[in-house]
Structure 1
Amino acid sequence: MPLNEQPDWVDRVLLPATGAQPCLDLGRPVDRAALLASVTARQQALGLAGMRRGGTAALRMPPSFDLITTLLAVWRGGGQALLLDHRLTDVEVASALAELRPQFLVTAGDEGGPRALPGGLPASTDHVVVQLSSGSTGRSKAIGRTAADLERELDCYARLPEFPGRGERVVLLSSMVHVLGLVGGLLNALGAGAELVLPDRMTPAGVLDAVGRRDAPTTVIGVPFHAELLAGRKAPPPLPQLRRMIVAGELVRPGVAEAFTERYGVPLGTMYGMTETGVIATDPSGREHPWLEPVHGMELSVSDGELHIRMPESPYLGRTDPTRWSQGLLHTRDAASLDPGTGRVAVHGRRDSQVSIGGLKVDLTEVEQTLSALPDVDEAVVLFTDGAIEAYVSGRDAGPERLRELLAQRLAAYKLPRRLAVLPALPRTATGKLLRSAATLREHAASRTAGHS
């Protein structure tokens, strides 16, 4: 039966002991005894709603005590959790639910209890968590992780002396529905005996206030965007408890690490990982940039400039795209180099349509296809230039403001183009393919604007 060993894993690894030592700080301290009691109560509520061993539940909740207790309750009851970013639109959520068909949907508050979904199916695999990569709702990008795989990743964190341990604190800025925030933040803190802190406000002042709330050694975990915000903070208060910040999710822009260290006197460490595998390589000390040390047991190779990872089984639910996984290799679609002398890896950036906006992954193909499907739109080209998404469309009487309104109903805010231009026709190459040159498209848009002035 799927998930047969998972509840034991929750108690053994994540909730091994109770006591008065705080394990969570979400505006108020929560000790392990209180957390276990809340998880047990949540588990009972799920059972009363009809959730059974091997059941499936989608969680659409912001970072909160409710999200943590619900996730642990689903796992402890032998269930499979589908994590949905609370910032997704109703259209995106509906698409994900239609593809993955969980039995229940749990939302923030859920005063009426978990909502049973028509046509929902129990788990057919031993994955305890399902996540959606790149904000996509397609089945080929639904990624499953088993309890054994999560425990393997936690063992990797335990081998990193720079990562927080018992008696220390983690200020988490990354989302707990994505892999870094989930495993590197929440699960590792629980398993290692550290205190997990969620800032009251995701502003530089809010983050620094969370760091200074207690004297225990503290590590901040987030994405490079967060590090840039903190590095730009003028005259931060003295924070002797701050040990370091560790970021992942995208490449760190030149000068950011130096600016952060100059401002706070501690290193900016980096990590590289994927939803499919969790953490892959790290430099938490910040001394080896851009080189990262592969974590224990991770077998890496580079072919035609692309990083591949040995993975005997596909992490994807349903039919697997062979360009993503084949013959025991995960194709990361990241450009990388391996140092034959040290075994370290340097990641140079994406080789496909996935980009990162403020640490959140966006699939440009999804944005382009959504635009193309809007009324009065014939064609669309979506690009990522100068750190922002740009979109160019052609169509019959398609107005940019109306297109923005329709697009905002279908895509999360962080996926929306910063620039959207409507042209009579999109330029093409000599062979008839849509031209994807940002300079050419901008020139066409500028000439159209000049013609209407």
Structure 2
Amino acid sequence: MTPDWVDHALLAGPDDEVCLWFAGPVRRSALRAAVAERHAALSAAGLRPGGTLALRLPPSPAYVECLLAAWRVGAQVLLLDHRLTPHEVDDALARLEPQLLVRPLVEPDRALRGHHDAVAVAETLAGRPTASEHALVQLSSGSTGPSKVIGRSAVDLVAELERYAAIDGMPARGDRIVVLNSLAHTFGLVGALLHGLHVGARVVVPERTTVDGILDTLAAGSEPTTLFCVPFHLELLARVAAPPVLPLVRAITGGELIRPGLAEAFTSAYGVPLGECYGMTELGVIAMDTAGTLRPSVGPPAPGVEVRVDDGELLVRAPANPYLGPADPERWSAGWLRTRDAATVVDGRVTVLGRLDSQVSVGGLKVDLSEVEHTVAALPGVTEAVVVHDRGIEAFVALAEGVPAGDVERDLAARLAPFKRPRRVHVLAALPRTSSGKCSRDPAALRAATQR
């Protein structure tokens, strides 16, 4: 696909239409002009069609402009979350060898800011041009281990935009999207930012991601508003005692399964449905229920997505191998990608049951860690929970104020057979998360958080 897909799929629209809102409104005409200016600057810095650029900027107008401009040049963009440590950034640059790095002139303040006033600086690296047709390269979330390198072509991205546009309940022209998800990861990037640009829905990034900051942003507009978020944000918002009246029509969460009872708590507080999106960095959206009426199913497959279940594992049709560099050779084969998720597909609805690698043996008895985790998460007073098997089954939880840790162990004794119970329950102020907002399942990261 030629680079003009950016003009046709993302930049087209009425000149005076407000398409983005960071600190203030950004109209289509202004965005087109800014992207053209960035295009010229990146070309002057040496970026060419088939070149490679690593983009490490916080959410900002500069981030959107540089991303679209690099694609417009015809380059491949490696997205690096701005919250990555210098060590993680250096590792990614060494692995992927981009020719250009676009970074902030000043490192942003990390304290609960939704967007930043970033000044972009282009730095030339001793990298190499791309050897593939991928327009976008991302690193997987790393919630369960080392990140994988994943590539997606412009054709694939445009096809996903068409899938989103065909899903009932997705924001359309004249609507507003308030996005809390990372714009460097798939759901926030494609489902919110690129979808909004594609269909003409205004994409709004809050100034601050505190509860008050989110509520103020939701209340600041009059258009029908959809909130894009992860379960962490829902937990915060569901605790608000008396939420204000908002132009909110729905919220849609993605990235991980929500705990039992959270959807009901959120809907009771705000009077709007909570939809769920199931997808992968490798493929984008796979299944979606924007109305939240099919729970525990995450909905029917998205338009054009083909799924099947093989020995309890969900497989998704993927014409090309999405992985760059070393990867599990069994993960993609003969046009099918193994999700590593246990699932059922009944009456055209996908129900995700948890990770297949959550099955462990305790004393010769099989235990599903997903079952244990759901049981822990559903206990009164538990606001977050992760269950892992490291030196035995261990639970890491965050509790509502005033809930004693002993209550968790007492309630578990009444709900789980002894061989299923966590050997230890660690209480943390908050669970560690990956840069995409998912709870980390890396035992080393969880132990480090416990020590802190």
Interval of TM-score (by shorter of Structure 1 and Structure 2): 0.7 to 0.9
Query: Is residue 2:260 matched to residue 1:260?
Result: no
- Distance of aligned partners of 1:216 and 1:148 in 2 relative to their CA distance in 1, 3 Å threshold: same
Aligned to 1:33, the other structure's residue is in SS state: helix
Query: Is residue 2:348 matched to residue 1:343?
Result: yes
Q: Residue 386 of structure 1 corresponds to which residue in structure 2?
A: 396
The CA distance in 1 between the partners of 2:143 and 2:341, in whole Å, is: 18
Contact 1:99-1:138 at 8 Å conserved across structures: no
TM (norm. structure 1) is 0.77
Query: How many Å apart are 1:412 and its aligned residue?
Result: 11
Report sequence identity in percent: 51
Query: How many Å apart are 1:325 and its aligned residue?
Result: 1.2
Q: Residue 113 of structure 1 corresponds to which residue in structure 2?
A: 121
Q: Residue 83 of structure 1 corresponds to which residue in structure 2?
A: 79
Q: Residue 372 of structure 1 corresponds to which residue in structure 2?
A: none
The CA distance in 2 between the partners of 1:243 and 1:327, in whole Å, is: 41
Aligned residues: 374
- Distance of aligned partners of 1:91 and 1:265 in 2 relative to their CA distance in 1, 3 Å threshold: same
The CA distance in 2 between the partners of 1:333 and 1:206, in whole Å, is: 37
The CA distance in 1 between the partners of 2:393 and 2:86, in whole Å, is: 25
The CA distance in 1 between the partners of 2:146 and 2:263, in whole Å, is: 37
Contact 1:242-1:266 at 8 Å conserved across structures: yes
Query: Is residue 2:342 matched to residue 1:332?
Result: no
* 1:239-278 alignment, distance < 5 Å: 239=246, 241-278=247-284
- Distance of aligned partners of 1:249 and 1:382 in 2 relative to their CA distance in 1, 3 Å threshold: farther
The CA distance in 2 between the partners of 1:50 and 1:352, in whole Å, is: 45
Query: Is residue 2:192 matched to residue 1:182?
Result: no
The structure having more radius of gyration, on CA atoms, is 1
The CA distance in 1 between the partners of 2:315 and 2:216, in whole Å, is: 41
Query: Is residue 2:417 matched to residue 1:417?
Result: no
The CA distance in 1 between the partners of 2:292 and 2:243, in whole Å, is: 21
Aligned to 1:91, the other structure's residue is in SS state: helix
* 1:5-24 alignment, distance < 5 Å: 5-24=1-20
The CA distance in 1 between the partners of 2:449 and 2:231, in whole Å, is: 29
- Distance of aligned partners of 1:139 and 1:251 in 2 relative to their CA distance in 1, 3 Å threshold: closer
- Distance of aligned partners of 1:11 and 1:421 in 2 relative to their CA distance in 1, 3 Å threshold: closer
Contact 2:138-2:149 at 8 Å conserved across structures: yes
Query: How many Å apart are 1:385 and its aligned residue?
Result: 2.8
Q: 73-82 or 309-318, which moves further after superposition?
A: 309-318
Picking from 29, 32, 35, the partner of 1:36 is: 32
The CA distance in 2 between the partners of 1:142 and 1:67, in whole Å, is: 21
Query: How many Å apart are 1:227 and its aligned residue?
Result: 1.2
Aligned to 1:187, the other structure's residue is in SS state: helix
Amino acid at match of 1:419: R
Query: How many Å apart are 1:206 and its aligned residue?
Result: 0.9
Picking from 307, 310, 314, the partner of 1:300 is: 307
Residue deviations 1:12-41, cap 9 Å, x none?
A: 100113411211110201100011111111
Q: Residue 27 of structure 1 corresponds to which residue in structure 2?
A: 23
Residue deviations 1:359-396, cap 9 Å, x none?
A: xxx9x99xxxxxxxxxxxxxx969873358xxxxxxxx
Residue deviations 1:91-139, cap 9 Å, x none?
A: 1111111111100111123768311112x01111111000000238999
The CA distance in 1 between the partners of 2:334 and 2:393, in whole Å, is: 32
The CA distance in 2 between the partners of 1:66 and 1:294, in whole Å, is: 34
Q: 10-19 or 77-86, which moves further after superposition?
A: 10-19
Amino acid at match of 2:350: V
Q: Residue 369 of structure 1 corresponds to which residue in structure 2?
A: none
The CA distance in 1 between the partners of 2:393 and 2:184, in whole Å, is: 26
* 1:24-423 alignment, distance < 5 Å: 24-109=20-105, 113-118=121-126, 120-135=127-142, 141-239=148-246, 241-291=247-297, 292-339=299-346, 342-352=347-357, 385-387=395-397, 417-420=445-448
- Distance of aligned partners of 1:382 and 1:47 in 2 relative to their CA distance in 1, 3 Å threshold: farther
Amino acid at match of 2:98: P
Amino acid at match of 1:254: P
- Distance of aligned partners of 1:129 and 1:412 in 2 relative to their CA distance in 1, 3 Å threshold: closer
| Unaligned 5+ runs, structure 2 | 107-118, 359-368, 374-385, 399-431
- Distance of aligned partners of 1:74 and 1:420 in 2 relative to their CA distance in 1, 3 Å threshold: closer
Aligned to 1:287, the other structure's residue is in SS state: coil
